[in-house]
Amino acid sequence: MELFADITLFWVITFIVVGFFAGYIDSIAGGGGMIQVPILLLSGISPLNVLASNKMASLVGVLMATIKYALSKKISWKVVSIAMIPCLLASYIGSRLVMFVSDDIIKWAIILAIPVAMIFLFKKSKKIIEEKTELNNKNIILATAPIGFYDGLIGPGTGTYMTISMKKYLHLDYLVSTASTKPLNFATNLGSAIAFIMAGKVLWGVAIVLGLANVAGSYVGSHYAIKGGEEFIKKILIFVLVFMLLANIVKMVIS
């Protein structure tokens, strides 16, 4: 298979621009897939190849964000070490169950999940920093594993929802929450990527272009998240949630 079979120069350039923006947004607030997937579908690529190629690009993008946040020592490794396996298992269970759920239910579940996240985002929460918060195994798993289940069942916006969940239920600030979400996102994405590779569904030309652009966007985005702090991340979260809500409503109306 040729690396860029049936992909014109116009779409290669488009993928670079979109991949950078998606990586930038995803590294700060999650939701990069909601930007990449519609563009990939618009290019004429089949849905399964879109999912596979998007997953590969997101995988390397979130890896860059993880490295960047790790070097700046913003990740709560206690949270990550406790939540990693439960999130993987929950994601796997979600993926198995989604085969028995109708498309209409999935569409409505995505739309309803977005305003719920916005309510939690705007709801007043305690100003507690990580070092002064007691993090026990039960609280960490309850705050993250359901999001892992959502990732396997539905998917879009997983990073956004996990960041908000860590903020509200573990009382981590948005920067630590965002940073700690990335390695968990990497782990859940990895399982899907392996499955797509084994099935031969990845369009490597598209995945490489998007992946490199994602890496660049993730590097810049995580830099500004670290520099801008909680208020900057909250503004990006609001933007992503509104965008996701409008995108899904438009998608339902068109379909």
Closest CA to 40 of 18, 60, 59: 18
**Tens-binned pLDDT, residue by residue, of the chain (255 aa):** 445 556 788 888 999 999 998 899 888 877 787 778 778 877 888 777 887 888 889 889 999 999 999 998 989 999 999 999 998 888 778 777 766 777 677 667 766 766 766 666 566 444 444 445 567 888 999 999 998 888 777 766 788 888 888 988 898 888 899 899 999 988 887 877 787 888 788 899 899 999 999 999 999 999 888 888 767 777 777 777 777 677 667 766 666
| Chain centre to alpha carbon of residue 201 | 20
What's the pLDDT at 103? 62
pLDDT of residue 130: 44
Residue with tokens 């929802």: 161
Contact in structure between 33 and 58 (CB atoms under 8 Å): yes
Number of helices and strands (H, E) in the chain?
9, 0
Amino acid found at 155: G
Q: What is the pLDDT of residue 214?
A: 94
CA-to-CA distance for 96 and 244, rounded, in angstroms? 25
Report pLDDT for 128. 41
Q: What is the pLDDT of residue 158?
A: 81
DSSP-assigned states of every residue in 98-114:
GGGS-HHHHHHHHHHHH
User: How many angstroms from the chain centroid is the CA of residue 123?
Assistant: 22
What does the alpha-carbon distance between residue 209 and residue 205 come to, in Å, rounded to a whole number? 6
- Cβ(161)–Cβ(147) under 8 Å? yes
The pLDDT, as a whole number, for residue 209 is 93
Q: How far apart are CA 102 and CA 200, in angstroms?
A: 26
pLDDT score recorded for residue 241:
72
| One-letter amino acid of 145 | A
